[in-house]
Amino acid sequence: MRVGDLGEFGAVGRISGRLPQGAAVLLGPGDDAAMIDAPDGRVVVSTDLLIEGRHFRRDWSSGYDVGRKAAAQNLADVAAMGAVPTCLVVGLGMPADLPVTWLDALTDGFRDECAEVGASVAGGDVTGCDLVVLGVTALGDLGGGAPVTRSGARPGQVVAVAGRLGHAAAGLALLQAGRQEDAAAWEGTALGEAVAAHRRPRPPYPCGPEAARLGAGAMLDVSDGLLQDLGHVAKASGVRIELDPAAFAVGEPVAAAAKELGADPLDWVLTGGEDHALAATFPPDVVLPPSWQVVGRVVAGEGVYVPGRSSVRGGWDHFK
Amino acid sequence: MRVGDLGEFGAVGRISGRLPQGAAVLLGPGDDAAMIDAPDGRVVVSTDLLIEGRHFRRDWSSGYDVGRKAAAQNLADVAAMGAVPTCLVVGLGMPADLPVTWLDALTDGFRDECAEVGASVAGGDVTGCDLVVLGVTALGDLGGGAPVTRSGARPGQVVAVAGRLGHAAAGLALLQAGRQEDAAAWEGTALGEAVAAHRRPRPPYPCGPEAARLGAGAMLDVSDGLLQDLGHVAKASGVRIELDPAAFAVGEPVAAAAKELGADPLDWVLTGGEDHALAATFPPDVVLPPSWQVVGRVVAGEGVYVPGRSSVRGGWDHFK
């Protein structure tokens, strides 16, 4: 069966039927708008557009993977403010000949990724489109705390990261090298984990509010590559960030993929996006839980500096 | 100059620079998420996806028109809950060869439509895409009132509409009939007003919260055609809605376009979408301000009935 056989309202009904609603959803799908709990009296909101062929490929990722990834990158944006996600709303464009099984898997991916943080898909919009297009918006609640922005880094602070770095980039490199055929055989190995990381990021959601409680000065999620993203912090805060390349733990999947392809694993760690790790600055005397690794420090000046790397390589530009 | 010359971050900066922030925006563009005032402690949220070639054509509508229309249809969804819009966030996909003048006009359209209700574009996402794609999400505040849903219609209530009906459909029909060349010459005439209504809807935003204060039972915005949309109310409420065809004021632009094309103006009034009028049910003894016209009543039963029209024609299905 194809999506076009369902029609617009059939598709909406089918999607809604697979989506349980979380506690924050006071009014779910079926009206002109949803109504979401916002006990803080302020609401955090972030939106992303994902386009087939640019942000994902249907031959490289399943519908379920795309759903999880699309949800994850938006939920991570909310966590990066120090907030707890409450819901997503999703605008979904899809071709009439899209298999309904793919739509179901996509829906389930959204559902399961939201469940990781106690959120849910509270509403959306369905329309026809030659490509699969996802407009995903996440809301979150700050629980009375101040939002952690990009402009709060101060000289003397340490720079720390939580979550994985370079995994998704290593997996993407394997797929780009034409190794998709091998991916199934790699399951359970470090190479397989790299491919899985590209398909399905695992942002460290609880580390966002945790960092806020620990007094983080600045924070963001690493979506375009650590160097590029920390560049935004340096610019917004008017500081210089110095990273210690020896301080980064290179994950086994990253190391294995680098060996397989003859690449420099640190390249992926420093410039690879899409793992949605969190990067934050903290007061120098902070005692960080093990989820956070100190990888550098904030000093006076500008830019992001990594000893031994003459120039900072760029991250992702969606028009290049 | 083309959008690709700006690059992703140049485009983001250019867009942000044209967008003043409203009072509800506590933290605007530049972070992983925006932060919006939600004094009610609940927030209303609605999202829509607009795809070039399906929801708008760049040869029929200017960038400014597309911005106003995309903003309007989402702000109207918030108003239809009885809420006051606070902000939009916008995911924008666009080709690298899109003229920057078009992008600027689009941005200004969003800005001006938001200004109609005191809202603003608080954040967004920019990415490359072969087509112009807009993922628009609107937030709103209920000011302590109950949301007006689709399921609150009860037998005995009257049905009323606020705003224009059939104008956008009449304008679309003129364009579809190949009369685009004439559109410029029609400026200032009733036919020109019909074309303008297609390009730029004018939802009666204040009538949403007004209806909530007047005790509306059910409400929605008319986006897919009055009959189809009232069908949602009838279904969600478990009632039958009977409309009086003689009660509808046929606007001069609708009448003029119908004459020009030899069409039935009431067809457009009853089944044309995209004017984003509001339709609501009210207690029978309500005293309605002149912005609302009573056009029917709620009775026991099911469906939407219009005397003299044997069958209810369909509205819009995005997969047909």
- ipTM, 2 dp: 0.94
| Res B315: pLDDT | 55
Residue that terminates a domain, selected from B141, B174, B209: B141
Q: Domain for residue A77, yes or no?
A: yes
Q: Domain for residue B297, yes or no?
A: yes
Same domain, residue pair B272 and B239: yes
Inter-CA distances, B222 with A8, B38, B263, Å: 16, 26, 21
Evaluate whether A197 touches A112 at the Cβ level (below 8 Å): no
Same domain, residue pair A135 and A203: no
| Res B179: pLDDT | 81
Same domain, residue pair A180 and A235: yes
pLDDT along chain B (320 residues), means of 10: 92 95 95 97 98 94 96 98 98 97 98 98 96 98 97 98 96 89 86 93 98 98 94 96 95 96 95 94 97 98 88 55
Q: A47: pLDDT confidence band, cut at 50, 70 and 90?
A: very high
Same domain, residue pair A95 and A165: no
Chain B residues with beta carbon closer than 8 angstroms to that of A78: 32-33
| Res A273: pLDDT | 87
How many folded domains does chain A comprise?
A: 2
Amino acid at site B316: W
Residue among B234, B248, B245, B215 at smallest CA distance from B299: B234
| Res B310: pLDDT | 55
- Please tell me which residue of chain B has the smallest CA distance to A122: B45
Same domain, residue pair A190 and A124: no
CATH code, A106: 3.30.1330.10
| Res A185: pLDDT | 87
What's the domain range around A22?
3-141
Residue that terminates a domain, selected from B141, B169, B200: B141
Q: Domain for residue A319, yes or no?
A: no
The span from the CA of A120 to the CA of B23, in Å, is 29
Same domain, residue pair B115 and B199: no
Which of A34-48, A167-181, B119-133, B195-209 comes out lowest in average pLDDT?
A167-181
Same domain, residue pair A86 and A20: yes
pLDDT tens for A189-236 read: 999 999 999 999 999 999 999 999 999 999 999 999 999 999 999 999
Q: A182: pLDDT confidence band, cut at 50, 70 and 90?
A: confident
Same domain, residue pair B137 and B174: no
Same domain, residue pair B79 and B178: no
Q: Domain for residue B187, yes or no?
A: yes
CATH code, A167: 3.90.650.10
The span from the CA of B259 to the CA of A299, in Å, is 73
Amino acid at site B36: I
Q: Domain for residue A173, yes or no?
A: yes
| Res B319: pLDDT | 65
| Res B320: pLDDT | 54
Residue among A219, A51, A141, A282 at smallest CA distance from B125: A51
**Range list of H helices, chain A:** 3-17, 63-79, 100-115, 167-176, 180-183, 190-199, 207-213, 226-237, 252-261, 265-271
The span from the CA of A149 to the CA of B235, in Å, is 45
Selected for mutation to probe chain A from B137, B224, B278, B316 (highest A CB count within 10 Å) is B137
Residue that terminates a domain, selected from A141, A168, A199: A141
**Closest approach of chain B CAs to the CA of A56, in angstroms?**
13
pLDDT tens for A270-318 read: 999 889 999 999 999 999 999 999 999 999 999 999 998 754 544 556 6
3-state secondary structure B249-293: CCCHHHHHHHHHHCCCHHHHHHHCCCCCEEEEEECCCCCCCCCEE
Selected for mutation to probe chain B from A45, A136, A207 (highest B CB count within 10 Å) is A45
